[in-house]
Structure 1
Amino acid sequence: MKSSILYAGAALACALGLSACGGGSGDLPLTVTIAGGVTKEGLVLVNQSNGDEIAVPAGASTVQFKKYLSTDDEFNISYKSLPSNVSACTFSNNKARANYYTVYTTVPTVFCTIKTHTLSVTVIGLTGTGLELVNGSNRKVVTAADASQPVPIGDIPEDGAYGVTILNQPDTQTCTISGGTGTMTATGPGTTPVVTCGPKTQ
């Protein structure tokens, strides 16, 4: 009778702590690193091996699936949907069998590419030379010939901010800018930057 009680107790302990008794432990978290910057809601990841899904919050650097895995469980991570401002996402280490190494060392990673759109500036009345515009790290020297059509000044991530300013005035004129700051939308800048040049002011 005593040995039966001990056996029953061991079986209960095994049920409560599977990792101590062999078999699937069910204690391995499946965490994904978010690289490339997800700036908008809409990215949903799915573990195709068990159907577990997780929505990635905007700005998140990591997410963890709700279902824990047992040792040797297969996982295969892909995306179910993308944010509207993302063109594509790629993965590394997203398909393997779960163990300490695959979930803690070679962590699955998703890299998403944000759509970009060209920011152009309308320049009116420029006759002088030396006008230079700047937006972030992008600089553009504008000539009178350039000003015959919208002047591109770099690509801006969709939903990203921009701020065009005049870095240098032309030699014989003074220029002002309107609509220089805004947010890039799916169809172009929220406001079109317009540079207007006229007689030089003192």
Structure 2
Amino acid sequence: MDFKMEVYILRHAISIANEKNLVCGSRDYPLSETGIKQANRICNHLQKIPFTLGYSSPLSRSIDTIKYMKEKLQFNIVAEISEVDTGDASHMTFEKLWSLDNRYRSPWLHPYLRYPAGECFYEMINRIQSWFLNESNKWKENDIVLIVGHEGTLRSILLNLLNLKISEYPTFPIKNCDYFHLFITDGVLKEKKHLTLEDIG
């Protein structure tokens, strides 16, 4: 008998750092006014789905994205699915970081390039994928799971499920409040749907 699960992976709503084009990584920034409106829309849409398990990054931009769902679904707060730790580069503009080392424009092509006093891309991806593999082994038949995190969270999980290389990290665009609806059978991704705020109306 096939073991089937549905998994939804959601990127947080737009934050102040996103709007200011700042490197923030695992540093905390709140949602912007636009992000709060986005969060309301995505919650109204997702709360109709009978989730059995919920997980969120501990950063406020993730937690506040699903603020209005927390009455219906208890979320496990998971440090392992936070964004990459950008260390001393946090709070810089991307332009400033790129001027220091142009390789940071495409860290997936330089996965062992460490952010100063932070992580490298390989460490982030390994951290998130290891958590996903370990945690998904605990899920039950027909569980419907929601994971709320960051661009790095979503891409790392998808790299694993799609059997892609780290160099293929930016293959698919992921905007704020985009989510992927994944259908997994016996640990194998059978189907995925990519939805945006525009798709849900």
**TM-score interval, smaller chain:** under 0.3
Whose relative contact order is higher, 1 or 2, with alpha carbons under 8 Å and at least 6 apart?
2
Structure with higher strand content: 1
TM-score between the two structures when normalised by the length of structure 1: 0.23
Structure exhibiting the larger radius of gyration computed from Cα positions: 1
Structure with higher helix content: 2
